[in-house]
Structure 1
Amino acid sequence: MLTEVTATRYVTPLREGGSLPGIVEADDLGTYVMKFTGAGQGRKTLIAEVICGQLGRRLGLRVPELVQMQLDPVIGLAEPDQEVQELLKASGGLNLGMDYLPGSIGFDPLAFAVDPVDAGRVVWFDALISNVDRSWRNPNLLVWHGELWLIDHGATMIWQHNWPTAGRAAAKPYDASDHVLAPFGPDITAAAKTLAPKVTRDLLTEVAADVPDVWLLDEPGFEGSDGPDRLRAAYVESLLGRVENLHERITLGPPTAQAATQAPAWLRVWTEGKAAK
């Protein structure tokens, strides 16, 4: 289970994020990037952050530590921005915090080289979780203390937005041509050999257990008192079904610099908004 902390001070919004995350201090004296249930895709984004972030950490990838974060909207009363105030008011209760990495910088493929083995591990992981948001358009990678860190996994497991079609997601290919690490010759075969055996039902079950019940309630098709447990099991089955021979379904071709992104419509609006800012 994720550690639970309480937000004590809202510091500043991160306006490069389309969902308007914010830097927040907590009662454990830590500083976090907080993502809110009242923003954008709401709790499904946070579910994806927890499952994929915790899975990445368990696979040895660098993902900032995650915590459950209680929010009392009163801490935003002094915030002059009306949009931020409305977001805080809509997000009272349990939200998600990610360890803030002070001094980190956005990944620039022209300034930071990545080993083919490390690049392969990230690409294979993104294929597993169907990440459509780690492209050259929007890397979602940070460099901190000379190491590569993975952030922002809200735009993953797209099948969760349409559960009746989730079964078909297992065999879906993953086009990594536009992946930000594609130019580094990612060794996907080596990544599969190392990572695939680790992605077991037990591991996925443990990761899914970190999602709070409150974010899993009232999902269509998963109603009832046992709904959260059945929904967790659905996430496990969907991810487990993608593992076998995943590397054979990953393609690397020329980047589509002039082509439209393959991201869903809601994500295009999100990323285009980030670029405009």
Structure 2
Amino acid sequence: MTLPLRTATRYVTPLREGGSMPAVVEADDDGLYVLKFRGAGQGPKALVAELIAGGLAKALQLPMPDLALIELDAELARTEGDPEIQDLIKASAGLNLAMDYLPGSVNFDPVAEQPDADLASRIVWFDAFISNVDRTARNTNLLMWHRRLYLIDHGASLYFHHGWDGDTAGAAKPFPLIRDHVLLRWATRLADVDAELASRLSDDVIAGIVADVPDAWLQGPDAFGDPANQRAAYVAHLTRRVTQRGAFVQEAVRARA
């Protein structure tokens, strides 16, 4: 996976419902993107999780807006009247992550919508794999666009990497919080989709996704080793999680039962 590189040319509007206050921006390809700021409260680890999880979702052929790296110039802050937004732009100068903006999309409503059992099972499997704590009825992080379900916002996944030293022991653990997943009740085909999804996540596919993480995001107080060593640790964790996936798959099956 190689992400396209864009340059932000205009700050359009903040999306204040997001905890990290993402924003709609226009880029040099005239496209609109939802930008996730490196300088937001969650820090660059949230962008690492967004990029890796987004790449894995694409590899699994799950519906998700396309990702891009976006270069942000601190000079854009000069046109903004809100001091909070000015500070956020300045703190995020350099490479950030964005996804295609889906105009007219609406939040998924688990009362009104009836997702397909196969797709629901694939999404639950994926979220158990990436340890995504943020796909609940309270905050679904799912959009409906042209009557199709789209996955968004994976910054809270891969939570093991906060304060991480590169140890992969946790890769074989189940994910008990899958019990709160908004799509769990429709995920009746978890055992059926397991082998196929795992087959899509070869070592080379995972390594290609992780290779896109910029060096600048692998710095900071809880970084360990150099960026190359950190990427290798992510690859080792994720490949081990695929081979020992029985723990999180069976946990999801038990949670649904």
Aligned equivalent of 1:39? 40
In the alignment, the residues of structure 2 paired with residue 8 and residue 151 of structure 1 have an alpha-carbon distance, to the nearest angstrom, of 23
Residue identity opposite 1:233 in structure 2? A
Quote the offset at 1:218 in angstroms. 5.1
Query: Are the aligned partners of 1:33 and 1:100 in contact in 2 as well (CA < 8 Å)?
Result: yes
Do residues 133 (structure 1) and 134 (structure 2) align?
Answer: yes
Query: Are the aligned partners of 1:64 and 1:100 in contact in 2 as well (CA < 8 Å)?
Result: yes
Q: Give the unaligned 5+ runs of structure 1.
A: 256-277
In the alignment, the residues of structure 1 paired with residue 237 and residue 166 of structure 2 have an alpha-carbon distance, to the nearest angstrom, of 11
Do residues 152 (structure 1) and 148 (structure 2) align?
Answer: no
Residue identity opposite 1:20 in structure 2? M
Residue identity opposite 2:205 in structure 1? L
Residue identity opposite 1:123 in structure 2? V
Do residues 202 (structure 1) and 185 (structure 2) align?
Answer: no
Structure 1 counterpart SS, 2:179: coil
Query: Are the aligned partners of 1:2 and 1:210 in contact in 2 as well (CA < 8 Å)?
Result: yes
The TM-score, its normalising length taken from structure 2, stands at: 0.92
- CA change 1:165–1:253 in 2 (3 A) is same
Aligned equivalent of 1:187? 189
Residue deviations 1:60-115 (CA, integer Å, cap 9, x gap): 00111111101112112222222111111111111111110111110001111111
Q: How does 1:1-277 map to 2 (within 5 A)?
A: 1-164=2-165, 166-175=167-176, 176-217=178-219, 220=222, 222-223=224-225, 227-243=226-242, 244=244, 245=246, 246-253=248-255
Residue identity opposite 1:129 in structure 2? I
- CA change 1:219–1:253 in 2 (3 A) is same
Quote the offset at 1:238 in angstroms. 1.0
In the alignment, the residues of structure 2 paired with residue 75 and residue 221 of structure 1 have an alpha-carbon distance, to the nearest angstrom, of 29
The TM-score, its normalising length taken from structure 1, stands at: 0.86
In the alignment, the residues of structure 2 paired with residue 30 and residue 69 of structure 1 have an alpha-carbon distance, to the nearest angstrom, of 12
Query: Are the aligned partners of 2:50 and 2:155 in contact in 1 as well (CA < 8 Å)?
Result: yes
Aligned residues: 252
Quote the offset at 1:219 in angstroms. 6.3
In the alignment, the residues of structure 1 paired with residue 34 and residue 6 of structure 2 have an alpha-carbon distance, to the nearest angstrom, of 13
Residue identity opposite 2:213 in structure 1? V
Structure 1 counterpart SS, 2:137: coil
Residue deviations 1:29-56 (CA, integer Å, cap 9, x gap): 1100001111022111001111110110
RMSD after superposition: 1.8
Structure 2 counterpart SS, 1:134: coil
- CA change 1:8–1:221 in 2 (3 A) is closer
- CA change 1:152–1:240 in 2 (3 A) is same
Q: Give the unaligned 5+ runs of structure 2.
A: none
